[in-house]
Amino acid sequence: MRRDVKRWLLSALTGVLVSGLTGCNGETQEAGNNRPAVEFILERLEGEPLTFPDGLEGRPVIIAFWADWCPVCEEELQIFEALYQHYRDQGLTVLALNVGQDRDAAAAFSGRLNVSYDVLLDRDTEVANRYGVMGLPTTFFIDRKGNVHAKIVGESSRELIEKVIREIL
């Protein structure tokens, strides 16, 4: 029972934070265009580390912050999967950063959704904090030069996400 209450409170708090940070329907927010993306090293679900941006230079990247208690993260991760399948041959990379949860929770949730892109574990929320994430979901779009092109805070539509992807391709 306590776990359900905790998830509800976290979900409610996220809703308050997201509604306070976004315009209508998760509009893109000014993210400091041409500001270099924050570098990080995080563990993949499979156990090996991923260093960003090493090895991803010249590729457009989506960095999606999420958690399984976030009410809209499930739909967004599915949107990212569909768009990743469509645009990966053009170099698109998706990094889904699970915020503050353990491997089992992240694996169960992403496994149920059958995501094929990298799921990374930000257990101590250090990377989320360095990116200034205040609510979930929060998505950053990194251009081929490694700069933050756009940021979406809160729920978004497939159309808006795809529009921003086309801009960074």
Domain that holds residue 65: 2-168
The torsion of the CA quartet 124, 88, 111, 141, rounded to 10 degrees, works out to: 30
CB contact set of 101 (below 8 Å; sequence gap of 6+) = 67, 68, 121, 123
Domain tally, the chain: 1
Give the CATH number, domain containing residue 115. 3.40.30.10
**Per-residue pLDDT in tens (0 to 9) along the chain, 169 residues:** 444 434 434 444 444 343 333 333 454 454 556 799 999 999 999 999 999 999 899 999 999 999 999 999 999 999 999 999 999 999 999 999 999 999 999 999 999 999 999 999 999 999 999 999 999 999 999 999 999 999 999 999 999 999 999 999 9
Check if the beta carbon of residue 127 is closer than 8 Å to that of residue 47.
no
Instruction: Indicate the DSSP class of residue 37.
Output: P
- So what's the pLDDT on residue 18? 37
- So what's the pLDDT on residue 12? 42
Prediction pTM value: 0.83
Q: Which tens digits make up the pLDDT trace of 32-45?
A: 567 999 999 999 99
CB atoms within 10 A of CB 105: 15
